Amino acid sequence: MTVALPKLVLASASPRRLGLLQQIGLEPDHLHPTDVDETPLPAELPRQLAQRLAKVKAEAALAWSKRDEIWTGAYILTADTVVAVGRRILPKAETVDEAEACLHLLSGRSHRVWTGLALVTPAGAIKARLVETRIRFKRLSRAEIDAYIASDEWRGKAGGYAVQGLAGAFVVSLQGSWPSVVGLPLAETVGLLEAAGFPVRANWPAPLVPVL
């Protein structure tokens, strides 16, 4: 039996974040991508950028919900993922040159993926988490880089790669949250939702009752 859940809004256009939510049995009632300036501030660290953008997106989504009574009081989830080598923030690659530069930089090295997560509660409060994941790539050959560039998977991806796709073949080690690298840390998302009173497991399949 399906239980009517409180309204849940995913403030993101990312199909990967939507897919991750669906993976744990959550179907947002609405998708509301936010349009915010994602340019890092002067001297802003990667972790600070991920935290700030998640919060800015949450604030923008909260302001929108207050203008539409249908969504006032909904749970609103936002996130932002930042890939960095040391203090250097890698772009969301949009050109071949950007993607190649990212892959050359990541080749044979460790890097960090920071995902800022924010939840707007029905009371209008914003709760936030930050998740760090460390990844090491193998040393990439020219042929591997060229083949990956030709796949076009990198376009629009932070750091110029998508770990859930072909670039998974480049990963030597990963310490932390794999879904966070994809775009949404699931354990932390569930923790925020449950702490705010959202019944995350309400629609999970019930165990079968044996017929005697």
The enclosing domain of 152 has a CATH number of 3.90.950.10
Q: Would residue 200 count as lying in a domain?
A: no
Give the separation between CA 158 and CA 28, rounded to whole angstroms.
24
* Domain extent for 189: 8-195
Per-residue H/E/C for the chain: CCCCCCCEEECCCCHHHHHHHHHCCCCCCEECCCCCCCCCCCCCCHHHHHHHHHHHHHHHHHHHHHCCCCCCCCEEEEEEEEEEECCEECCECCCHHHHHHHHHHHCCCEEEEEEEEEEECCCCCEEEEEEEEEEEECCCCHHHHHHHHHHCCCCCCECCCCCCCHHHHHEEEEECCHHHHHCCCHHHHHHHHHHCCCCCCCCCCCCCCCCC
pLDDT grade, residue 2 (50/70/90)?
Answer: low
In a domain, 203, yes or no: no
Confidence of residue 205 (pLDDT cuts 50, 70, 90): confident
Query: Is 212 inside a domain boundary?
Result: no
202 falls within a domain: no
pTM, two decimals, is 0.91
| Residue 159 placed within a domain | yes
35 is catalytic: no
Nearest alpha-carbon partner for 160 in 83, 53, 80: 83
- So what's the pLDDT on residue 207? 73
Question: In this predicted structure, what is the pLDDT of residue 53?
Answer: 97
Q: Does residue 141 belong to any structural domain of this protein?
A: yes
pLDDT tier at 5 (50, 70, 90 boundaries)?
confident
Segment 140-165 shows an average pLDDT of 96
Tens of pLDDT, residues 46-83: 999 999 999 999 999 999 999 999 999 999 999 999 99
Q: Which of 52, 182, 176, 48 is nearest to 112 (CA)?
A: 176
Residue 201 domain-assigned (yes or no): no
Say how many domains are in the chain.
1
Choosing from 35, 37, 80, 97, the catalytic residue is 80
| Residue range 73-126, pLDDT digits in tens | 999 999 999 999 999 999 999 999 999 999 999 999 999 999 999 999 999 999
